[in-house]
Structure 1
């Protein structure tokens, strides 16, 4: 498996080589939090098993699984190994700043990796902008805004196999996000939301299931 060049300062890593004290609730440790208590009635949705982190949505959940860890950089990179076990599975990497109140829940931008494509979206100046979000909920989005929103997402076809480990690196420099899989750049997208001055939170945003291992966060500042 190809490795990314290790530029930048390593500010966090997790190999998930630890055990939980019980199997009833999420107990990720190492600074991680989850939304299982608020969104899945406290049911377990994250399991540390065989040296990896398995994330799976519970049948009672009213929202995708969010597994979060604090970080802080202007330019930086998130790397990890992941495996999709079903064609409907995907890995979401959501970059957020909860101190920024002009967007919903701090959403800045995201990367989504599925078995058919990689998608990069600017959420800060797109669908998570509070005024835009409220207009969409009210059904009052202008044609001008609708056209603008079309420019805030880029989707690049890229096929992956289920049941296979891959290495992904999502690197943001200035207003550009580049995504590499197994050392090969597969998608890049430039948009003003990526240039937000401080990325403070990483969310692993999972709609269904994913297996994650060997996660590293680098600052390029």
Structure 2
């Protein structure tokens, strides 16, 4: 096991070696590539479908005068108009699998506390879940998180109980707080402004996130096993650059 010193948090970060099924080589042998985009074109305006190739920006039409996605020399450069749109940039593409995931290359063009890359899966046809948010991986300046939203905080009953308690100035009910703690895992990670390859996979009730060939985080939760990941989705509140996306369905 490799040990990488994480000076930001002043604790060592132990990164497990990548498992075979978390590698691009394994995906190429055992999975089906259902989508690939190298972004080697120009965007067509600022609206929802401006990125092209099947991408849709759920927040672009809120602020049509602001360019939030710029295709530049094969790179998708996202600069979210979060304040103006009232929501982080939400960009998604059809996926359509039970088990599978995505391989992307990304970088943070600058470093501040607002830099977050959130990517994962959505099924708007799912009842009882806010906006169909299922599960995500989040890369922040100091941490990586895997979270099950379907059976966690995006579950409408869980949200109702939380919001009612907070509106009354109280605390989240103890049983709900205990439940939500089981729905995510967070590990330390030292982000930078270099390019990185990220693999995010769901296999059964397990989600795994690999960075540059190292398995960084893994977690098991019921929501990860949702039978239809209809959309692969980015949620970006500030700035992220992406230069390649491959979506894989595990056979």
CA distance in 2, matches of 1:12, 1:53: 16
Rg comparison, structure with higher value: 2
Which of 24, 37, 49 aligns to 1:4? It is 24
Structure 1, gaps ≥5 residues long: none
* CA–CA separation in structure 1 for the residues paired with 2:74 and 2:228: 31
RMSD after superposition: 1.8
Partner Cα separation in structure 2 for residue 129 and residue 70 of structure 1: 22
Contact 2:119 2:232 in 1 (8 A): yes
2:47 and 2:57 in contact (8 A); partners too: no
Question: 2:54 is matched with which residue: 27, 31, 37?
Answer: 31
TM-score by length of 2: 0.82
Q: Does 2:131 correspond to 1:105?
A: yes
- 1:48-87 CA-to-partner distances (Å, cap 9, x unmatched) read 1111101111251211100011110110020100001222
Segments of 5+ residues of structure 2 without an aligned counterpart are 1-17, 167-171
Q: Is 1:14 equivalent to 2:34 in the alignment?
A: no
The answer to whether the 8 A contact 2:165-2:173 is kept is no
Please state which structure has a larger fraction of its residues in helix.
Answer: 2
- Tell me which residue corresponds to 1:53: 76
- Residue 147 of structure 1: how far off its partner (Å): 1.0
Q: Which stretches of structure 1, 4 residues or longer, exceed 6 Å deviation after superposition?
A: none
Structure 1 position 188 matched with structure 2 position 218:
yes
Distance 2:228 2:59 in 1: 26
SS across alignment from 1:63: coil
Q: Which SS does the other structure have where 1:92 is aligned?
A: strand
CA contact (8 A) 1:41 1:61 kept: no
1:69 aligns with 2:93: yes
Q: Distance in 2 between matches of 1:90 and 1:72?
A: 25
CA–CA distance in 1 between the matches of 2:133 and 2:108?
A: 24
